Amino acid sequence: MADTDEPEKKRRRVVELTEKMVVDGGSGRTCEWEGRWNHIKKFLERSGPFTHPDFEPSTESLQFMLETCKILVIGAGGLGCELLKDLGLSGFCNIHVVDMDTIDLSNLNRQFLFRPKDVGRPKADVAADFINSRIPGCCVVPHFKKIQDLDETFYRQFHIIVCGLDSIVARRWMNGMLLSLLVYEDGVLDPGSIIPLIDGGTEGFKGNARVILPGMTACIDCTLELYPPQINFPMCTIASMPRLPEHCIEYVRVLLWPKETPFGDGVILDGDDPEHIQWVYQRSLERAADFHITGVTYRLTQGVVKRIIPAVASTNAVIAAACATEVFKIASSAYIPLNNYMVFNDVDGLYTYTFEAERKENCSACSQVPLDLHFSPSSKLQEMLDYLTESASLQMKSPAITATVEGKNKTLYLQSVASIEQRTRPNLSKTLKELGLTDGQELAVADVTTPQTMLFRLCFTS
Amino acid sequence: IMAATKASKEQKYDRQLRLWGDHGQESLENAHVCLINATATGTEILKNLVLPGIGAFTIVDGHTVSGEDFLCTLQNRAQAATELLQELNSDVSGNFVEESPDKLLDNDPEFFHRFTIVIGVQLPESTCLRLGSVLWSASVPFLVCKSYGLIGYMRLAVQEHTVIESHPDNALEDLRLYQPFAEFKNHIQSYDLDSMDKKDHSHTPWIIIVAKHLEKWLSEHNCQPPKNYKEKEAFRQFIREGILKNENGVPEDEENFEEAIKNVNTALNPTKIPSAVEDLFNCEQCNITSQSPSFWVMLQAVKEFALKEGNGSLPVRGTIPDMIADSQKFINLQNVYREKAMQDAAAVSKHVERLLQSVGKVCCSHCIANCKHLCWRLGKNAFFLRVVRCRSLAEEYSVDSVNKDEITSSMDNPDSEMVFYLMFRAVDRFYQQHSRYPGVYNYQVEDDISKLKLCVNSLLQEYSLNVNIKDDYIHEFCRYGAAEPHTVAAFLGGSAAQEAIKIISHQFVPFNNTFIYNAMSQTSATLQL
């Protein structure tokens, strides 16, 4: 069909144009051309009044950036695509990208490294292919994986890590990973073990970019209160007192679907399956009609089920650009990096606000001081679990608590493995005293929000 | 095929449709954007317009590609950019004109009249002013953008940009508690808090609770609502006393009453017409003629509504926030507001029809239906109507009308972003005098510092600006050597594209009128020049 020929023809034409760009060598790289890095050289080879105090103009910085500097981009979505382009066009040639997702049609309004024919393929792979074929000399290595599937050895190899994530849990995990790589000698932090983390986030017309020097400046968990916990609708509203169309949709998602298993036993609601959404939409309309509620639409249904956050190309472009500028500053030492948090909003004009987020003294992630947990010996374990998940400074998702009791390592409660959950569930209604815990003892807590176990100290109150 | 294309477009654009709606998308798809100069900044701006699906773009660029441009072929830059950009979104049609804007202004200035918006990138001052004048007379919005070293600059020149849907971030609700309209009063009357059972009592919407208590308060306080902190605190306590108590006299857990108490602060504000809207009512554009744009016809209709059916108030917005209540009570209350809003919108619509008739425009049934829909949307946004008027470039540059106050007061802090604006003006002078930018080649940097300083001084002298520009900034701008690093181009690309989308869609509010971005400190400022 003529329709499918056109995009392919255009794509081939573009590859053709790109190939023409590669002229001859110079500086040993076979992909350079005259003037290619003129813009950047002005910042690396000239002195200036606003440069970083440690900056010395030289031709070596460009070499470092082109040949040695290794950058990791986390996420190949709205921010990730922009970041890969920005970094590639700024002279970074050794880039890795991690993303566990595949491409969806709704990504194409902003994730411009992807085309309709790529729908269904892994984002990391397609993004890498695109950059590698269009930016001569740039080498992007894709990892179609979860960040949790990669280990210390992997992360340690990078000079700078930039995140374009859409999940706070993932950010905290990344934050925890880089903190775990820090080396202390006689209580002094070895600066060579610090990997700067540049983190960007967007939502509609709002965004933020921040620079984190693990162990030195405010980390993600230091400012956890800036990310208020997501509020879900109360169960009684969903179950018996709906007022908004959203309540009707949640009813179907949370209560009706598990009850009716419309697509088979054990089949989980898949927000990306139009048939699933259609079913939820129809049932939501019925629910809404029962209560004389208007406003249920297919678009709203999908939005609620998938927790969709609206997104446009422009905000992602702005935030990624700010992050990439920071990567450049840190890699080249040309300017003092952002210190350390910038907020952006272009709903009404354009607004930015830049401030220094402060480290939290007792930050659960970076303060290195074991946190105290204050409970009476007659408190139930459930109370401790509630505290770990509900406290604004911890916001754990499904903590697993272990302790050394009578010389033996005992799992007090673990949610993520069904058999262990069942076995340890009775512990939740036991008191801390009944569980054999003593004043001052250490508790180890594992959770998705951190790659390392967190240590707490139990302090009995009277 | 049409249905399939429409469905896949809805999916593709889903994430942005949730921001500006189908009608916003339609306005984008009917837009034709002109980009002058496909530099890194220019192509980034256009990329962020092509991706969301503008109807068409035309690139005007007389330059051939150089090694510094990423699109290094032996081709014309306009053509290369057009092809690369078009490939991003097959819904968009792209054109190019291999011509300098100066040539077009010489031979065919009306060429620019066809565009929804013209975006000029890295334009020399003379071209910018010539083009600015043509576009101002033709009422075509003009967005000027520059990336220079680590500084970004944008200037919007549009005579009058009207916005019905400004989508403010934190708007107060329109609850009419202070002077409830008749239907709302009746609805409040239908409740008797004292005779309700516990379940109903605990699931009564907080709006009703506040309304009931306000009624009592007014009767005991000479019809004066609680105004200061002390009175509001007493009112909150009054509500708290309304919480049911159990047989031991202990107050029950009534979340709806807690909500009422929490909302006292904002709920009791009288429904005044915002001063910004009053200012619009006083504009001479409200004297409707057959040439009046529809925004002003609608605004005049709202004004007439406020004077007549509205009894001094704008049309009721019709929405209420979610609150603890059982479904029936909430829906019934919501319907009271909704029906009133529809009634008010219909009244506004009648005023619109009458106004159009009075200037000789007859409304067919299609127009009337469309009008009703537009007035419904108008009613929802009546409190947030905005008009943005930017000064022309001519006014900014004229010695007689330069905004000296804004410049000198900003420069009280010599490191404010205003210094970059002045540096841009000085660099433009340098270009005029030397036909090149300062510091492009290494050997030029040092000598150009003193040459640029002369331009700075002549600029300040010409405009009688008693400000001091530190030598560091002059040095820095020579250091930049007119570099256009990609990350600064990309930041500006996103910023400018969204401003263009605001202009095209008439949703959200554009900046007025100069925006400066400093990538060194990651700060920015909006100046009105």
* DSSP notation for A390-413: H-TTT--SS-EEEEEETTEEEEEE
Q: Which long-range contacts (CB under 8 A, 24 or more apart) does B426-434 make?
A: B426/B452, B426/B455, B426/B456, B426/B459, B426/B469, B426/B474, B426/B477, B427/B148, B427/B452, B427/B455, B427/B477, B428/B124, B428/B125, B429/B125, B429/B455, B429/B458, B429/B459, B430/B455, B431/B124, B431/B125, B432/B124, B432/B125, B432/B126
pLDDT value of residue A24: 36
User: Torsions phi, psi of A70, nearest 5?
Assistant: -115, 120
pLDDT value of residue B365: 79
Between chains, do A350 and B526 touch, taking CB under 8 Å as contact? Answer: yes
Residue A206 in this model has a pLDDT that exceeds 50: yes
Which comes out higher in pLDDT, residue A13 or B179? Answer: B179
* B:461-480 residues touching chain A, CB 8 A cutoff: 471-473, 475-476, 479-480
Of the candidates A211, A216, A187, the one whose C-alpha atom is nearest the C-alpha of residue A359 is: A216
pLDDT value of residue B255: 95
Please give the ipTM for the structure prediction. 0.95
Residue B172, chain A, CB below 8 Å: the answer is no
User: Torsions phi, psi of B151, nearest 5?
Assistant: -115, 135
| Cα–Cα dist B505/B55, whole Å | 12
Position B115, amino acid: F
* Closest B-chain CA to A292: B331
pLDDT value of residue B67: 62
Provide the token pair at B174: 């329109």
- Pick left, alpha or beta for residue A406 (phi over 0 → left; psi -120 to 50 → alpha; otherwise beta): left
Cβ-based contacts of B511 with chain A (< 8 Å): 349-350
With contact defined as beta carbons under 8 Å apart, do A357 and A197 qualify? Answer: no
Between chains, do A317 and B84 touch, taking CB under 8 Å as contact? Answer: no
pLDDT value of residue B369: 83
* B:187-206 residues touching chain A, CB 8 A cutoff: 203
Helix residue ranges per DSSP H, B13-61: 14-29, 40-50
Cβ-based contacts of B522 with chain A (< 8 Å): 209, 322, 325-326, 338, 342, 352, 354
Give the C-alpha distances (Å, rounded to integers) separating A49 from A109, A335, B422, B453, B467: 41, 10, 18, 15, 20
pLDDT value of residue A22: 47
CA-based nearest distance A308→chain B, Å: 8
Cβ-based contacts of A292 with chain B (< 8 Å): 327-328, 331
Q: Which is catalytic among the residues A236, A248, A363, A366?
A: A236
Kind of pairing between the strands at A197-203 and A206-212 = antiparallel
Give the distance, in angstroms, between the CA of residue A140 and the centroid of all CA atoms in the same chain. Answer: 19
With contact defined as beta carbons under 8 Å apart, do A358 and A222 qualify? Answer: yes
**Could you write out the DSSP letters of every residue in A214-237?**
TTTS--TGGGGGGSPPPPPPPHHH
The model's confidence at residue A25, banded by pLDDT at 50, 70 and 90, is very low
CA torsion A154→A160→A165→A167, rounded to 10°? 70
Position B262, amino acid: K
- The sign one gets for the Cα dihedral B86, B88, B91, B92 is negative
| Cα–Cα dist A325/A348, whole Å | 25
Per the annotation, the verdict on A236 as an active-site residue is: yes
Cβ-based contacts of B480 with chain A (< 8 Å): 42
Of the candidates A166, A457, A148, the one whose C-alpha atom is nearest the C-alpha of residue A310 is: A166
Percent of chain A at pLDDT exceeding 70: 95
| Cα–Cα dist B529/B527, whole Å | 6
Give the C-alpha distances (Å, rounded to integers) separating B37 from A64, A203, B180: 32, 31, 57
* Closest B-chain CA to A313: B48
* Closest B-chain CA to A210: B522
Query: Is residue B299 classed as helix, strand or coil in its secondary structure?
Result: helix
Cβ-based contacts of B326 with chain A (< 8 Å): 241
Among partner residues B52, B327, B511, which is closest to A313 by beta-carbon distance? B52
Cβ-based contacts of B499 with chain A (< 8 Å): 346, 350
CA-based nearest distance B252→chain A, Å: 18
CA-based nearest distance B254→chain A, Å: 15
Angle ∠(A144,A147,A149) on CA atoms, nearest 5: 80
The model's confidence at residue A28, banded by pLDDT at 50, 70 and 90, is very low
| Cα–Cα dist A75/A88, whole Å | 16
pLDDT value of residue A26: 36
Range A407-424 average pLDDT: 90
Range A128-152 average pLDDT: 95
The model's confidence at residue A460, banded by pLDDT at 50, 70 and 90, is very high
Among partner residues A21, A112, A311, which is closest to B15 by beta-carbon distance? A311
Between chains, do A291 and B331 touch, taking CB under 8 Å as contact? Answer: yes
**Could you write out the DSSP letters of every residue in B207-230?**
HHHHHHHHHHHHHHTTTPPP-SHH
* A:85-104 residues touching chain B, CB 8 A cutoff: 85-86, 89-90
Among partner residues B17, B87, B490, which is closest to A320 by beta-carbon distance? B490
> A309 CB contacts (<8 Å, ≥6 apart)?
A166, A203, A204, B15
Residue A137, chain B, CB below 8 Å: the answer is no
Kind of pairing between the strands at A70-74 and A160-163 = parallel
**Cis amide linkage into residue A340, ω under 30° from 0:** yes
CA-based nearest distance B420→chain A, Å: 14
Query: Is residue B20 classed as helix, strand or coil in its secondary structure?
Result: helix
* Closest A-chain CA to B86: A10
Q: How do residues B467-519 score in pLDDT, each as one tens digit?
A: 999 999 999 999 999 999 999 999 999 999 999 999 999 999 999 999 999 99
- The sign one gets for the Cα dihedral A409, A410, A413, A419 is positive
**Cis amide linkage into residue B381, ω under 30° from 0:** no
Between chains, do B488 and A243 touch, taking CB under 8 Å as contact? Answer: no
Give the C-alpha distances (Å, rounded to integers) separating A312 from B18, B47, B486, B494: 10, 12, 20, 10
A interface test, pick of B22, B28, B39, B51 with most A CB neighbours within 10 Å: B51
| Cα–Cα dist B490/B314, whole Å | 42
CA-based nearest distance A147→chain B, Å: 25
Beta strands in A205-357 (DSSP E): 206-212, 341-345, 351-355
Residue A420, chain B, CB below 8 Å: the answer is no
Residue A154, chain B, CB below 8 Å: the answer is no
Residue A4 in this model has a pLDDT that exceeds 60: no
pLDDT value of residue B69: 63
For A303, other C-beta atoms within 10 Å of its C-beta total: 19
Q: How do residues B188-236 score in pLDDT, each as one tens digit?
A: 999 999 999 999 999 999 999 999 999 999 999 998 999 899 999 999 9
Percent of chain B at pLDDT exceeding 70: 98
Cβ-based contacts of B493 with chain A (< 8 Å): 317, 321
Residue A348, chain B, CB below 8 Å: the answer is yes
Cβ-based contacts of B489 with chain A (< 8 Å): 321
Which comes out higher in pLDDT, residue A256 or A451? Answer: A256
| Cβ density class A309-318: b for 16+ within 10 Å, e for less | ebbbbbbbbb
Among partner residues A21, A89, A244, which is closest to B322 by beta-carbon distance? A244
Among partner residues A36, A46, A86, which is closest to B445 by beta-carbon distance? A46
Look up tokens 């956050």; give the residue: A309
Q: How do residues A256-314 score in pLDDT, each as one tens digit?
A: 999 999 999 989 999 989 999 999 999 999 999 999 999 999 999 999 999 999 999 99
Between chains, do A241 and B203 touch, taking CB under 8 Å as contact? Answer: yes
Residue A117 in this model has a pLDDT that exceeds 70: yes
With contact defined as beta carbons under 8 Å apart, do A212 and A175 qualify? Answer: yes
A interface test, pick of B2, B9, B15 with most A CB neighbours within 10 Å: B15
Residue B64, chain A, CB below 8 Å: the answer is no
Burial class (CB in 10 A: 0-12, 13-18, 19+), A412: buried
Angle ∠(A45,A50,A52) on CA atoms, nearest 5: 70
Give the C-alpha distances (Å, rounded to integers) separating A167 from A171, A181, A272: 6, 22, 18
Position B169, amino acid: D
- The sign one gets for the Cα dihedral B7, B12, B17, B20 is negative
Q: How many residue contacts between A and B have a Cβ separation below 8 Å?
A: 247
Kind of pairing between the strands at A197-203 and A160-163 = parallel
| Cα–Cα dist B459/B429, whole Å | 8
Provide the token pair at A62: 């460009």
Which comes out higher in pLDDT, residue A60 or B60? Answer: B60
CA-based nearest distance A278→chain B, Å: 14
Cβ-based contacts of A55 with chain B (< 8 Å): none
Residue A182 in this model has a pLDDT that exceeds 50: yes
Radius of gyration of chain B (CA): 29
Position A430, amino acid: K
Between chains, do B487 and A204 touch, taking CB under 8 Å as contact? Answer: no
Residue A82, chain B, CB below 8 Å: the answer is yes
pLDDT value of residue A20: 54
- Pick left, alpha or beta for residue A206 (phi over 0 → left; psi -120 to 50 → alpha; otherwise beta): beta
Q: At what angle do helices B486-505 and B14-29 cross, to 10 degrees?
A: 70
| Cβ density class A155-170: b for 16+ within 10 Å, e for less | beebbbbbbbbbebbb
Cβ-based contacts of B485 with chain A (< 8 Å): 39-40, 43, 90, 328
Beta strands in A306-449 (DSSP E): 341-345, 351-355, 371-375, 400-405, 408-413, 442-447
Element (H, E) at B126: helix B125-137
Q: Tell me the β-bridge partners of B93.
A: B56
* Closest A-chain CA to B501: A314
Residue B68, chain A, CB below 8 Å: the answer is yes
Cβ-based contacts of B65 with chain A (< 8 Å): none
Q: Tell me the β-bridge partners of A348.
A: B509
| Cα–Cα dist A219/A447, whole Å | 18
| Cα–Cα dist B123/B121, whole Å | 5
pLDDT value of residue B2: 73
Between chains, do B47 and A112 touch, taking CB under 8 Å as contact? Answer: yes
CA-based nearest distance B399→chain A, Å: 27
Residue A321 in this model has a pLDDT that exceeds 70: yes
Give the C-alpha distances (Å, rounded to integers) separating A252 from A114, A255, A282, A296, B404: 33, 6, 10, 12, 62
Q: Which residue numbers in chain B have pLDDT < 70?
A: 1, 66-75
Residue A199, chain B, CB below 8 Å: the answer is no
